[in-house]
Structure 1
Amino acid sequence: MSQDNWVDAIAVDELPSDDVKGVVVAGRDIAIYTVGDDIFATDNVCTHGQARLCDGFLDGHEIECPLHQGKFDVRNGRPTCDPVTESLRSYPVRIEGQRVFLQID
């Protein structure tokens, strides 16, 4: 992956504290999570039920799908419980000034 594919996603102050926000970045539906002082990003659509994860419940580093209560680790997109078995795509995050950038290939 080229290191030049950083895309401006959102202002840091637009993100809710310890929660998730859905955004469209480079034509992709992305979920951006804040957990303490850390920011993570994954695809926003559950790999099991086609529900938007920004409508789910964030508990620490886990996002719960609002449709079937499957969970993913927001740090890497891996499923953490049934019924989900397929990982979400996760995106590297970089903060510059007060902007969040995602690396999109």
Structure 2
Amino acid sequence: MSETWTFVCAVSELLPGEMKTAWDEVTSVPIVVFNYDGEYYALEDKCSHEDFELSAGSYDGEDATIECVLHGARFDIRNGAPLCAPAYTGVPKFPVKLEHDGVWTRDDRD
């Protein structure tokens, strides 16, 4: 498990309804961070149905969902849960912290 936090962006660069991507500095895992109405959430930037980046899809800032552009699988950005076929497995969720006017995340899996 990585204890090293990865800087994503300045808080002012991630407004409600927006998302940003980053790569974990230790594990090199792609992570997408969402601002949902002032709350921040991070998921692995990979659809669980097929190895494709979620950040290429559409983020619905009102429903807190991300839809994979490849086959239409939709996930809840707050917990990574799949919401419709063809995805039946969730997407890993990562911690987010706000510190020094920045948004930070990390791959906290063992």
Q: TM-score, normalised by structure 1?
A: 0.86
Question: Which residue is 2:29 aligned to?
Answer: 28
Q: 1:24 to 1:103 in 2, by over 3 A?
A: closer
Coordinate RMSD, CA, aligned: 1.8
Distance 1:6 1:92 in 2: 12
Q: What's the CA shift for 1:90? A: 0.3
| Unpaired segments ≥5 residues, structure 2 | none
The CA distance in 2 between the partners of 1:49 and 1:8, in whole Å, is 25
Task: State the partner residue of 1:93.
Answer: 96
1:36 deviates by 1.2
Out of 55, 69, 83, the position equivalent to 2:72 is 69
Instruction: Give 1:48's aligned residue.
Output: 49
Q: How many residues align?
A: 103
Moved more, 45-54 or 14-23: 14-23
In structure 1, how many angstroms separate the alpha carbons of the residues matched to 2:107 and 2:44? 11
Q: Aligned partners of 1:6 and 1:39: how far apart in 2?
A: 18
Q: TM-score, normalised on structure 2?
A: 0.82
Q: Give yes or no for contact 1:57–1:64 (8 Å, CA) kept in 2.
A: yes
Q: C-alpha distance in 1, partners of 2:107/2:71? A: 28
Q: Percent identity?
A: 30
Partner of residue 13, structure 2: 14
Structure 1: gaps spanning 5 or more residues: none
More strand by share: 1
Deviation at 1:17, TM superposition (A): 3.5
